[in-house]
Amino acid sequence: MLTETTTRLVARFTDAVSRATDTAPTEVVISLREVSARLVMEGGQVLLVPALPAGRLSSRDGGVRRQPGQRGHHVVMAFRDLFGVDRPPVVLITGGNKGLGLETGRQLAQRGLVIVVGSRDLDRGRDAAASLDGLGPGATAVQLDVTDPASVASAGDAVRDQLGRLDVLINNAGIIVEARPTEVTAEQMRPVFETNVFGPATVTTAMLPLLAASPHPRIVNVTSTTGSLTLTANGADFGGTPETRMAYAPSKAALTMLTLQYARAFAAAEDLRHIKVNAVTPGYTATDLNHGAGRRTVEQGAQVIVAMATIDDDGPSGSFVNHAGTVPW
């Protein structure tokens, strides 16, 4: 969505630059108060390469090239003109430090969103945010354990204080605890429900005031096909083993229902009606969650998360989808 707008606008303005300077620019640096972006022309295509917080641009990053005779032009544009929005949207991804969460951050950064990596270990979160540096308008990390309300509250404060807004929340953090069906205990199931169900509820409640203030807020709950009652009743093969699903699948069914409840509640509340909340499933994806046994790549798995994080205003709310479309409840 942003890329198309960017491409169109940049094409228009690189024309203007060529006319003004008599040379076709191969590179354009956008420098704004909040964000800088470098656009590279390749084979007639405009690529948005890195977009770094303005203060961090250096000539080493290929940012500032003002000297005559060098490639590139230093051009200042209003963010609204460049992206069609006032400022880049901000997304918070829980469990954003690895696996599908990190890949979702990578794909959303490339679409021009500011990434907030929620990570229960701040150092791992910072490493993940650093790995996204240069892909989009910026990435930062907050300490966020979805099972710890104090951690969730401080993460919300950090987002508000550092970025001043939140447009997209991705409830991605999730765990599996293996339990033999014949011996399962509440102790085995509890942490799974704490992380996969109560966690998204805690985070959503904490972020709701920021989301409600956004013009186009989106919540994506990363659930699982194993949480589909219909597919399970019909004997679908989800991969994995009965042990991996004993606590996990019921927790994901609960998360899917939680999504529906939010969708109905938001639709009924005047100040929350603009929030779209959807459940997505990435499919059986090779990550640490299944010790790499998944059949899909994280690049493939993250696509549906990204798609629902960036749906436009006439997109659905209260849906349950995967890469192929609607998933049965």
Site residues (vs ligand NAP, CB under 6 A)? 94-95, 97-101, 120-121, 124, 144-147, 172-175, 195, 199, 222, 224, 281-282, 284-285, 287-290, 294
Please state the closest distance from residue 105 (CB atom) to ligand NAP, in A.
11
Please state the closest distance from residue 305 (CB atom) to ligand NAP, in A.
8
Dmax over Cα atoms in the chain, in whole Å?
77
- Cα–Cα distance between 20 and 127 in angstroms, integer? 42
Please state the closest distance from residue 294 (CB atom) to ligand NAP, in A.
4
- Of the listed 193, 248, 262, 284, which one is catalytic? 248
**Residue-wise burial string across 228-256, b where 16 or more C-beta atoms lie within 10 A, e elsewhere:** beebbeeeeebbbeebbbbbbbbbbbbbb
C-beta of 2 vs 207, nearer to ligand NAP: 207
| Burial of 160 per CB tally in 10 Å (0-12, 13-18, 19+) | middle
C-beta of 72 vs 294, nearer to ligand NAP: 294
**Helix, strand or coil, per DSSP, at residue 286:** coil
- Cα–Cα distance between 82 and 91 in angstroms, integer? 19
C-beta of 48 vs 146, nearer to ligand NAP: 146
C-beta of 34 vs 123, nearer to ligand NAP: 123
The edge-to-edge listing of strands for the beta sheet with 168-171 is 139-143, 114-119, 90-94, 168-171, 218-222, 276-280, 320-322, 325-326
- Cα–Cα distance between 86 and 45 in angstroms, integer? 25
Q: Tokens for 45?
A: 């295509």
* Catalytic residue check, 248: yes
In 167-228, alpha helices (H): 186-193, 199-212
Please state the closest distance from residue 128 (CB atom) to ligand NAP, in A.
8
C-beta of 18 vs 326, nearer to ligand NAP: 326
Please state the closest distance from residue 142 (CB atom) to ligand NAP, in A.
11
Positions marked active-site: 248
